[in-house]
Structure 1
Amino acid sequence: MRSPSADRDRGSVTAEFAVALPAIALVLAACLASVQLIAQQVRLTDAAADAARALGRGESAAEAGAIADRVSGGAALGVAVDGMFVCATLSTPGDGLLAAIELRAESCAVTGGR
């Protein structure tokens, strides 16, 4: 024999799950987006280091930009020379929904002509 309270609670788990599911999906999407941004920042930092080393070896800004472009996937390159050091700055907007976030990375290297 079933109790009358069991009939009233029937389907409440489904309703609670339907309410909680969008919040869970939103948290999961935010976590995945942050992982994507972190990975893109790491690629940008590596590309800035590669470009700075190329500029330090005496290669042109176009050649260093091509090297950085292969690693970063199309970031804008800025070059600054300060005495014995040459610095490469890369910047790019985020991808997809996070395009409003600008990522930047800078790396410096000693020039070959000390």
Structure 2
Amino acid sequence: MTAEFAVALPAVLVVVALAVGTLGAASRHVRLQDAAADAARWVARGEDSDSALGLVGEAVSGASASIEYRGDLVCVIASAPAGAALTFVDLRASSCALAGGL
């Protein structure tokens, strides 16, 4: 029984570590999406674009963002690394708002 436990324990630890990393990445993605939406609304209201991009960086550490204008829409595209456990994954989020909107 000890040998089976010694073989199974590392596999269980890897699965638990990946599960925790996945939950952390999902949480980070939600924060990134919310930050992109806030920044898009900020720019659409006519506020400073640099401060809007700063909102994304403050909400999610290591995030970067860019602004695109698509007709009447202002879109913010943000990306950030998923976190320490999933360094090979890059999260992306985008959000658009009607320019001149409230």
Residue 22 of structure 1: aligned partner = 10
Q: 2:38 aligns with which of 38, 50, 56?
A: 50
Unaligned runs of 5+ in 2: none
Residue 94 of structure 2: aligned partner = 106
Deviation, 1:17, is 1.2
Deviations 1:46-80 (A, max 9, x none): 11001001011111210101222221223111101
Measure the CA separation in 1 of the matches of 2:14 and 2:21. 11
Pairwise CA RMSD: 1.4
Unaligned runs of 5+ in 1: 1-12
Q: Is the 8 A contact 2:73 2:98 kept in 1?
A: yes
Q: 1:87 aligns with which of 71, 75, 85?
A: 75
Q: TM-score, normalised by structure 2?
A: 0.90
* Higher-RCO chain (CA-CA 8 Å, sequence separation at least 6): 2
Measure the CA separation in 2 of the matches of 1:96 and 1:70. 18
Measure the CA separation in 1 of the matches of 2:87 and 2:99. 34
Measure the CA separation in 1 of the matches of 2:62 and 2:12. 34
Deviation, 1:96, is 1.8
Deviation, 1:106, is 0.1
Moved over 2 A (4+): none
Q: TM-score, normalised by structure 1?
A: 0.81
Aligned amino acid, residue 24 of structure 1:
V
Deviation, 1:16, is 1.6
